Chain A
């Protein structure tokens, strides 16, 4: 008997890293999961690696596009008949720059992939969950939703905003059997970190490359190491369960003691 038997989940940006670890955890606990990313190739590979048969399904989705994000939620319901759990995971630090030098384009891109994708996905998921008076919405936020570092003003403000959105949504839906929570991970060494990290290193003018970047982010933790995708997935499992019905509006930490509150 799995902890999520019979549940249907949809997870944005889930062919790798945090989203993928959550998908695998959910499948292992008996859920059916829709995974997504922009790349159909990555999707096919992920499905094969997951080996979950009909319990996993891929739908292409560019999280910067409203139509894609809303379509992803709708297509999950079309495919599996319902949606119980929506994990809004897409996002990341791209195009780091001090605010005084940040371009409109890079600001807007961050806004789309981080905050707006979360809003679009949340709104659509709520529209499916409210009629059945049950559901779980989990936003993958970040320690940067409470802290601050130079050159990530776009990402940081997006994650602060996601925290606010989660709290409001929790209160609006609290008596409807729907919980809305955020998970705030510390640094996780994802593919995204390796892909966009070098540019962030440059923008921050750090000596020592990606290692220095990783150290800087995890130096503020008590555990002096990054968090892992499995650690985030364990929190995502707990919040998704029926037993978590009274946990809502929570900015749940998974950050090795980085945040002071």
Chain B
């Protein structure tokens, strides 16, 4: 008997990194999972790896677009018959720049990727969760939703915004059997980190390894976090016992954040 037997989850950016780890954690507890990504071949490869048969399904799409987000949620319900858990996980650092040099395009792209996609997906998910008076919204935020470094002000702003949206949604749906929480991981070496980290490092005059060391240094554990750390907490939040946790911004950062 899994903690999530019979539950249906939809995870944006679920073919790799944190999203994939969350998907695997949910599957291990009996859930059915839709994973989303931009690239069909990556999606198919992930499904093959996960080996979850009919319990996992891939839906392609770029969640920086509103229609994709809304359709993703609707298609999840079409495919598995319901939606219990919405994980707004896709997101990343974008093109780094100091705010004074930030272009509109770079700013707006990250707004869509990190903040608007969770809004569009959450709004659509609530259309299903409110009538059923049950659900879980899990926003994958960041420790940079609580603190700042130079060079990625769009990332930091959107993660702070996502934390605020988390609290706002939580108080609106608190008596409807629906919880909304944000996970705030510290540095993790995911594909997105490997793709965008070097640019973010360079924006503050660092090599990529130095940048990773910078994130590990203030932790208590003196190393980076891992995708499984986030998955562990996500599974707790999604479970029945997670009904008592909402509006929370949960630090999974090896003790970096002071609150």
Q: How many Å from the CB of A32 to the closest CB on chain B?
A: 23
Q: Are A174 and B171 in contact (CB under 8 A)?
A: no
Q: Are B236 and A249 in contact (CB under 8 A)?
A: no
**Which residues in A have their C-beta under 8 angstroms from that of B249?**
261
What string of 1s and 0s marks CB contacts (under 8 Å) between A234-260 and chain B? 110010010111111111111111111
**Is B4 an interface position by the 8 A CB rule?**
no
Q: How many Å from the CB of A37 to the closest CB on chain B?
A: 24
Given contacts A174-B254, A248-B255, contact A231 B244 (CB under 8 A): yes
**Is B242 an interface position by the 8 A CB rule?**
yes
Residues of A within 8 A of B (CB): 167, 170-175, 186, 221-224, 227-228, 230-235, 238, 241, 243-261
Report the count of interface residues on B (CB-CB < 8 A): 37
Q: Are B244 and A174 in contact (CB under 8 A)?
A: no
Could you list 6 examples of A-B contacts with CB < 8 Å? Answer: A224-B174, A227-B244, A233-B241, A234-B242, A235-B245, A246-B252
Task: Given A243-B228, A247-B254, output 6 extra A-B contacts at Cβ < 8 Å.
Answer: A235-B245, A243-B232, A246-B223, A247-B229, A250-B255, A257-B247
Residues of chain B from 244 to 259 with CB closer than 8 A to chain A in the complex: 244-252, 254-256, 258-259
Given contacts A223-B174, A238-B232, contact A257 B246 (CB under 8 A): yes
Q: Are B220 and A223 in contact (CB under 8 A)?
A: no
Q: Are B244 and A249 in contact (CB under 8 A)?
A: no
**Is B239 an interface position by the 8 A CB rule?**
yes
**Is B75 an interface position by the 8 A CB rule?**
no
**Is B79 an interface position by the 8 A CB rule?**
no
Contact of A223 among B228, B246, B258 (CB under 8 A): B246
Q: Are B245 and A248 in contact (CB under 8 A)?
A: no
Q: Are A247 and B247 in contact (CB under 8 A)?
A: no
C-alpha spacing A261/B219, complex, angstroms: 19
Given contacts A224-B175, A246-B225, A261-B259, contact A173 B220 (CB under 8 A): yes
Minimum-distance CB pairs A-B, first 7 = A249-B255, A174-B220, A222-B174, A257-B247, A234-B241, A231-B244, A253-B248
